[in-house]
């Protein structure tokens, strides 16, 4: 991997200072354009002349649209590609794809099935590669989530986040974020769908303030924020088994009542009401899910600005 390229593959790779810079810059850019129509540009067209390729191996609403709009508001342009329409989809190597795209565009955002393949693409690319979700992690989402938490509850430092459900890709990025931003993460996951062992080891090595709870009430107790995600992620096939195992981890009002009285509820969306969260919670007064979805746009700007800060390669 070329050393001075600013890939955004995982929060684990970022310094705490860079993670904080991205959040603060995102918040500032959001403030600066308050009241404008969505199609109006930001004052500083800081990515004018920059071209971002967006590659999707899996469906997306928020990631696709927020990156596209972020680039337009920053004065840049995008090319949106389905992996199935690229030679990548019929066997061209990640390394060759990374090198070729580096000759055409200034950065790549990829939503991939396999984290290892995204890492191979990044290793060969001479431009920044951004992870727009893989089977392992979803770092862009958690930057928007930290931004949202701080808007509603103040600094996230020293606060407590409770994750309920599958120890999936989004959970992994929350654990990474706990290390970088200095908050506590409590995971309420069934033993059969727990956080990956290598991430538990990583969190222990990094002295992350984290704990695993089989009992969902224990996970939520004292939390400033309760987070849920779908029980069946893209690529998961064992739907019936998952729904059965995860039922006790549903976020309903009785579970929310174990958190702090002013706790907020977050969900990256898409959500399945009646499964991982009840409608009264996700559509109720503690929920901030649509602020969170909006903040994908503002956080993408901070991420893009950080990745491209050193100019074109």
> Do residues 184 and 156 make contact, with C-beta atoms less than 8 angstroms apart?
no
Name the closest residue to ligand NVA (Cβ).
233
**Least separation in angstroms between CB 180 and ligand CP:** 19
Whether 73 is a known active-site residue: answer no
**Is residue 168 within 8 Å of 145, Cβ to Cβ?**
no
The mark string for 241-280 relative to ligand NVA (x by CB under 6 A, - otherwise) is ---------------------------x------------
- Residue 111 bears catalytic tag: yes
What residues are paired with 77 via a beta bridge?
A: 51
Residue 170 binds ligand NVA, judged by CB under 6 A: yes
169 binds ligand NVA (CB under 6 A): yes
Catalytic entry in 138, 213, 267, 298: 138
| Known catalytic membership, residue 72 | no
The partner in contact with residue 168, picked from ligand NVA, ligand CP, none with C-beta cut-offs of 5 to 8 angstroms by kind, is ligand NVA
Structure tokens at 63: 């990631």
118 binds ligand NVA (CB under 6 A): no
| Among 6, 111, 213, 298, the one annotated catalytic | 111
Tell me how far apart the alpha carbons of residues 75 and 44 are, in angstroms, rounded to a whole number: 8
Does 138 participate in catalysis according to the annotation?
yes
Judged by CB under 6 A, does residue 46 bind ligand NVA? no
Among positions 73, 168, 250, 300, the unique one binding ligand NVA when judged by CB under 6 A: 168
Closest to ligand NVA by CB, 98 or 165 = 165
Of 33-41, 61-69, 102-110, 218-226: span binding ligand CP (CB under 6 A): 61-69
């Amino acid at each position: 991997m070329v050393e001075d390229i600013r890939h955004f593959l995982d929060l684990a790779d970022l310094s705490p200072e860079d993670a904080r810079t991205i959040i603060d810059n995102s918040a500032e850019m959001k403030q600066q354009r308050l009241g404008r129509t969505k199609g109006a540009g930001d004052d500083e067209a800081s990515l004018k002349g920059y071209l971002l390729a967006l590659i999707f191996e899996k469906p997306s609403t928020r990631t696709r649209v927020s990156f596209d709009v972020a680039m337009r508001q920053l004065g840049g342009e995008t090319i949106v590609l389905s992996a199935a329409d690229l030679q990548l989809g019929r066997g061209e190597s990640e390394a060759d794809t990374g090198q070729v795209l580096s000759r055409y565009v200034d950065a790549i955002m990829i939503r991939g099935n396999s984290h290892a393949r995204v890492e191979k693409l990044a290793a060969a690319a001479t431009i920044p590669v951004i992870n727009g979700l893989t089977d392992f992690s979803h770092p862009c989402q958690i930057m928007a989530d930290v931004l949202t938490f701080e808007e509603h509850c103040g600094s996230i430092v020293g606060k407590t986040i409770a994750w309920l459900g599958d120890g999936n890709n989004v959970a992994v990025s929350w654990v990474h974020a706990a290390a970088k931003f200095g908050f506590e993460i409590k995971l309420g996951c069934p033993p059969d769908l727990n956080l990956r062992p290598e991430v538990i080891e990583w969190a222990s090595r990094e002295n992350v303030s984290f704990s695993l709870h089989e009992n969902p009430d224990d996970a939520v107790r004292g939390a400033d924020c309760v987070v849920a995600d779908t029980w069946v992620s893209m690529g998961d096939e064992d739907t019936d088994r998952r729904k059965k195992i995860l039922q006790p981890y549903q976020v309903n009002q009785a579970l929310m009542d174990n958190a702090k009285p002013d706790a907020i509820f977050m969900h990256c969306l898409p959500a399945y009401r009646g499964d991982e969260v009840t409608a009264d919670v996700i559509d109720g007064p503690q929920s901030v899910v649509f602020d969170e979805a909006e903040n994908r746009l503002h956080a993408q700007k901070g991420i893009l600005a950080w990745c491209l800060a050193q100019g074109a390669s």
